[in-house]
Structures are given as structure tokens and as C-alpha cells.
Amino acid sequence: MSFSSRQLGLLMATCLSMAVMHGLPVVSQNSSQNLLSPRFSPDPLIYNGVTSGSTPLSALAGAQTIKGRCQGFATDKPNHKIRLKEPFGFLSLKVFSGGDITLLVKGPDGIYCRDEPNPELSGAWPAGEYQVWVGSKSGDRTQYRLSISETRQ
């Protein structure tokens, strides 16, 4: 059996992607597993998704944050809802993507926006419900991976 250069490249990329992701449990974007308690497992908890939408994150935030106005665009409804059953002394929520993505989190203690590469919110998190939007600066559709972890990195 012989492969063309294109087929071989695609096969190698697929194998590499599988090797990188091997061992990481992945939860679908619409998962009902959104209630977290300290010492949850698996850690990290991984969600995959795709950015979309044309609603400005500044409109979704409804207020200016400590770091200024939220940048980018997303859907009207949050991509993820996370409920923390108890306070967390440390929790990290980080988004990985090859695109220019943004992050908006609305929770019981405020509204937070991040728009740097692979945006992250980490620190002490009070108990309560958090709405999470993952958007893009330009409104483009971009695949992403959301990681939730109690481990400091």
C-alpha cells in the first residue's frame, strides 16, 4: 500500500493529534456534567467547542470590567455553564486554540474578560453558577479546548 504525500501528511497529523490527546478525558460541549466540587476527577476536565456568533462580548458582559471592555464576539447563550458546589481555594479555567479567541465569565463575584492568547482565569473561586462564553475577536468560527483544573501550573 502506498500513500501520496498529502495522504501521508494527513495520516501523520491525525496520529499526532491522537497521541497528544491520549489520556485526556474530553466532555462534549453540551455535557450535563457541570456541577463541580473540590477534588473533582478527572483533573483537568476538558471541554471541546467551536466559537461562533455575532453578539459583541461587551454587550453580553453588560458592564465594563476592571480590565476594560470585553473584546470579541460570541453567541447570545453561554458556551458552558459551570456550577461550583463549594468554594475553591484555587481553580484554573483556560482556553486553548490556534485562533484569536476571547473569554467572558459571569459569576457570583463579578464579570471577567480575557483576550490574550490562550486566555485564563485562575485563583480562588466562590461557590455558585458561572456562565462561560468563548468567542473570537473577529467573529470567526474557531475550534477550542476549555480546561478546568485545580492544579497550579
pLDDT (tens digit, 9 = 90+) per residue, 10-41?
433 333 333 333 344 444 444 334 899 999 99
Which residues does 137 contact at the CB level (< 8 Å), separation at least 6?
Answer: 71, 72, 73, 100, 101, 102, 115
| 4 in any annotated domain | no
Instruction: Determine the structural domain holding residue 74 and report its residue range.
Output: 24-149
pLDDT tens-digit profile of 66-91?
Answer: 667 889 999 999 999 999 999 999 99
**Assigned domain for 8 exists:** no
Q: 57-69: per-residue pLDDT in tens?
A: 999 998 766 667 8
Task: Count the helices and strands in the chain (H runs, E runs).
Answer: 2, 12
Task: Tell me the three cell numbers of residue 71.
Answer: 473584546
pLDDT tens column, 96-149: 999 899 999 999 999 999 988 999 999 999 999 999 999 999 989 999 999 999
Average pLDDT, the chain: 82
How many other CB atoms are found less than 10 A from the CB of residue 32?
A: 8
The grid coordinates of residue 26 equal 474530553
Q: What is the CATH number of the domain that holds 136?
A: 2.60.120.380
